[in-house]
Structure 1
Amino acid sequence: MEACGLTVPPPRWRLALARAAGRPVPGPRPPRILWVRPTRTGLVLRLKTRPGQDAFDFAASSDRLRHSFTMHGVVSREIRSGVVELAMTGYDVLRRVQMPARVLRSERDGLRVPVALRADGSVHYRDYRQVPHALNLGATQSGKSVYQRRLVTELAALDVALVGIDCKEGVELAPLARRFSALADNPDDAAELLDALVARMADTYRIIRREQRISADVPDAEITADIWGLPEYLRPVPVVLLVDEVAELALFTTKEEEKRRDRIVTALVRLAQLGRAAGIYVEVCGQRFGSELGKGITMLRAQLTGRTAHRVNDEASAKMAFGDISPDAVLATIQIPEDRPGTAIAGDSSGGWVRTRTPYTSLRQAVAACNAHAWRTPALPELAQFRPVLPPLKTRKVPAPATESAPVTA
């Protein structure tokens, strides 16, 4: 700690006491170790800072600590005032992503699902209750589609309605259609689908308003302004809207397409502004998401709290995700190498960001998960016309094992 500049000189009263008693002068004082916890990827130290130190001192010395401890990476974070935690990893955990075999049930309550692995070895979660809307940005072959598959695979096991918009003729989301309550594969259907979602949101707010019953005899805990405070038998099923290649919804060449485009963007902005309390969560994916897509796009981006940026082709694309949040995240995004698809920078509007990598999820694995949980797919009356019509699943007939007959004896 002294070599890394993380010690403080002894207080003056100790120096005076040592001189008066004729004892050796005490040396610099390092931070006090509260506890040490070994992990499957390295070590975690929790330190009590000395007077005059702050969390920035440890963040600035993280690279020196990495070399001193001969570790692959050191990440510091402030736990509370005066307490800092150092997470040390002994190897590159993002080179070959291995998610923990077991994820605690308490860590994935509600709409909180594990989607990636962080650089410090911890699991990165997508929590829709805490961060309702998010933007997933990335160039071609950057791992953006794998991230989306992983998200659908984890959401398939939850009691949630999945709604998809895939204007690439459905090549990304159509194979997963058995778990989707509604799916649109062209801009015209997408406009109708978004209007139906806006109508559902208005109906949900009417239910919430009817059940508030704000009066003197109603306990505070029973008063709610969103669906999660409603009784379970009245609570509408939450909806996750996945929009793939949002640029296809914003481009136009004719006047009719321009009107359709304004209609689509307006509906998306309404859902992003008002959908959280009604249990509608928006996940937008695209290669670029800037003002060149037309009016209303930056207004929509401002409502997307969560940001995930995979490898991009230029710095301007990284600034679209993190330019208004963190310049350090922009620099980290443009440094993602091409030979590591799935690596991304995940952050939110608070300015914090982490480096993550999504485990590879093949299309067959995602389809198998959706087919296994197809019985969970809720039927939404407002979106009935967009429900995918699919043939029933074919079950493979397993031949009965041959039984050997007993020999006949005289």
Structure 2
Amino acid sequence: MPDQAAGSTRAPALPSAVLTHHWLVRRRGGEKVLEALARLVPGAPIYTLVYDAIGMGLSERGARAADPLAGRAVHTSWLQRIPGARRHYPRLMPLMASAARRMRLPPVELVLCSDAAVAKAMTADARSRVVCYCHSPPRYAYDAAICAEYRAALPWAARPVWDWAIPRLRDADRRAAQRVDQFVANSAHVAERIRRWYGRDSVLVHPPVELPSQPVHQVGGSGGGARGDHYLCVGYHAPYKRLDLAIEACLRLGRRLVVIGEGPGIPSPERRGEWAQRGIEFRGWCSDEEIRAAYACARGLLFCGEEDFGIVPVEAIAHGCPVVAYGVGGATETVQPGVSGVWFDRQEVSSVVAAMEQLEAIRFDAERMFESARAFSLERFLEKMQRVLAV
């Protein structure tokens, strides 16, 4: 590149990009999307409110060389210095908007933001283009039921602070949304929220899902043969995920249920011990390999909450595991009735039971299920996001 003439007023070229994400404490759906976004901006540093290297598998001993997030600089907010922040970050919600605004991003061409909270509020240089992949506007700020769940998890003394902070956080979030140059919605359901709560249009790009190389046919349980007699629930079990419906439906039908994951929706140890005698098994967090094996031998996945998108159902479908899903939100874009699962229309035990009985009467075709999941491949995601970034 030729040297610029002396006295030129042309601004110096900016470094390429930074990544931002609300918090990095464990690999769930949003973090898997961040992995994919990271492939588009090799080496870009990450800015996040709270970071747990061990929980993310990015410690010196835990990181994998092929991990798209490995080896990157990670910058955190002042919340990181609060004792217990990595474990109890949901209790810090009232402080997050302020903490995000105080994070000043370096001058770069592109700020690629992955957000379901306040990452878009981080202060970007005026010359930077901000592209926000929105998993959802923060539901704890706009959805009364979700807000009540977070509030109920707080100590009594902290609840007045929450009540004071949430309207201010909502206002700050709306202001931050107006500074985004391009929104990308992860589902049509979220695109409608972005229109309703932010007054902004968005481009629809579904999240990527890691697919097996070929259709997964019935591999059977530990004894082989047909699929096992058990159902699955997989993920971070917040109360709105309605794990309680899955448990009660399985108890009513006398079906086994394997619950993978943790979260505030997990019942007490006493209840878990009681239900273990009735076929309800809690395994905690499992590796990706263990989860894939669980999909491959389960009768079906129970997905009882209203989700923004829901990567877990697509993972299950790709591995030949049909889905019983609440027919609202993202599940309507991923679960095809009669092809890859069934929907139920009310968040009631009787509605889930009826859907399970319907699913058990259908013979699902692994080839058709796999083909339906291919619409959410990593390759398609990267291709669509590259087109967004090229505009």
TM range (shorter): under 0.3
Structure ID, larger Rg: 1
Q: Which one has more relative contact order, counting CA pairs under 8 Å at least 6 apart? A: 1
Bigger proportion of residues as helix: 2
Bigger proportion of residues as strand: 1
Q: TM-score, normalised by structure 2?
A: 0.27
